[in-house]
Amino acid sequence: DIVLTQAPLSVSVTPGESASISCRSSKSLLSSKGITSLYWYLQRPGKSPQLLIYQMSNLASGVPDRFSSSGSETDFTLKISKVETEDVGVYYCGHRLEYPRTFGGGTKLELK
């Protein structure tokens, strides 16, 4: 199974500042179709996860452009610029390269 390792476990950010979250994969997430199968989700407190980023760098519908993602075949970074109150929650990376689908352990973002 593909193991996704996120860092840090938690991050505390001053509103208006930036935050970065790392996700490392145990296997290349580059598919045979040339798509990097890395996804980012945000789970706000008490809510269901929502898709933020698909195929490593594409914003999901309705997601503000303060969110961006980049990476290689195995190392990925989610960046949140100008953090706002609504960004608080747990961020998960996940893949869709093969079965079983797996997720990273999560990174909790809090405000200072």
Partner 1 sequence: EVQLVESGGGLVQPGRSLKLSCVASGFTFSNYGMNWIRQAPGKGLEWVAYISSGSSYIYYAETVKGRFTISRDNAKNTLYLQMTSLRSEDTALYYCARGSMDYWGQGVMVTVSS
Residue placing its CB nearer to partner 1 in the complex, 1 or 17: 1
For partner 1, the binding residues in 52-91 under the rule CB under 8 A are 54, 60, 90
**Cβ atoms 93, 39 nearer than 8 A:** yes
Q: Which of 2, 38, 41, 87 binds partner 1 (CB under 8 A)?
A: 41
**Cβ atoms 106, 4 nearer than 8 A:** no
* Interface with partner 1, residue 51, by CB under 8 A: yes
Q: Which of 50, 57, 72, 74 binds partner 1 (CB under 8 A)?
A: 50
CB of 58 to partner 1, least distance (A): 11
Paired tokens of 46: 């008490």
Burial 30-68 (b: 16+ CB within 10 A, else e): beeeeebbbbbbbeeeeeebeebbbebeebeeebeeebe
CB of 16 to partner 1, least distance (A): 28
* Interface with partner 1, residue 39, by CB under 8 A: yes
